[in-house]
């Protein structure tokens, strides 16, 4: 890779990271404006938005949030204390603990969903351009090969 190609790769990655960070910053501000910490919002969104058939367990949430299970347990404790989420026993396996969003959590999620979708309408062209630049300019043959496969 030449020095110019390397510099282009850094700039491309930096722009993509910048666009993601801008959206995340807006997301964090919106969550706080609704009286909830951004990580709590992420957890509620993860619970509500689990793939079809997935159970809202601590393990599932840990995977979705890229957190350790004990961190998710603490997050669920805080959500429950604030009335945003609740635990319930599984119907098939009574040992299983499932986390659900409460009506109060649903209200907050609904407001934040609208804000996020509006912001994505505004920011998506720039975010898409930045992502497309990363896809179009892989820095080496390994990245070029990966770009052709689905992950």
Please work out, in degrees rounded to the nearest 5, the angle formed at the alpha carbon of residue 79 by the alpha carbons of 91 and 25. Answer: 125
Cβ neighbour number for residue 41 with a 10 Å cutoff:
23
- Give the CATH fold of the 3-146 domain: Arc Repressor Mutant, subunit A (1.10.10)
Residues contacting 55, CB < 8 A, separation 6+: 90, 96, 98
Give SS3 for 2.
Answer: coil
How do the pLDDT tens digits run along the chain, 151 residues long? Answer: 788 878 888 999 999 999 999 999 999 999 999 999 999 999 999 999 999 999 999 999 999 999 999 999 999 999 999 999 999 988 887 788 999 999 999 999 999 999 999 989 998 899 999 999 988 876 654 444 454 554 4
């Amino acid at each position: 890779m030449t020095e110019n190609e390397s510099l282009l790769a850094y700039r491309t990655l930096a722009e993509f990271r910048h666009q993601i960070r801008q959206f995340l910053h807006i997301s964090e501000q919106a969550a706080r404006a609704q009286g909830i910490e951004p990580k709590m919002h992420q957890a509620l969104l993860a619970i509500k938005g689990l793939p079809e058939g997935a159970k809202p367990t601590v393990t599932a949430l840990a995977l979705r949030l890229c957190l350790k299970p004990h961190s998710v347990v603490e997050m669920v404790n805080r959500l429950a204390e604030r009335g945003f989420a609740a635990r319930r026993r599984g119907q098939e396996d009574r040992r299983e603990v499932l986390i659900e969003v409460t009506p109060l959590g649903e209200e907050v999620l609904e407001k934040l969903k609208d804000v996020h979708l509006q912001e994505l309408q505004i920011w998506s062209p720039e975010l898409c351009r930045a992502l497309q630049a990363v896809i179009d300019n892989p820095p080496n043959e390994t990245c070029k090969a990966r770009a052709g496969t689905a992950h």
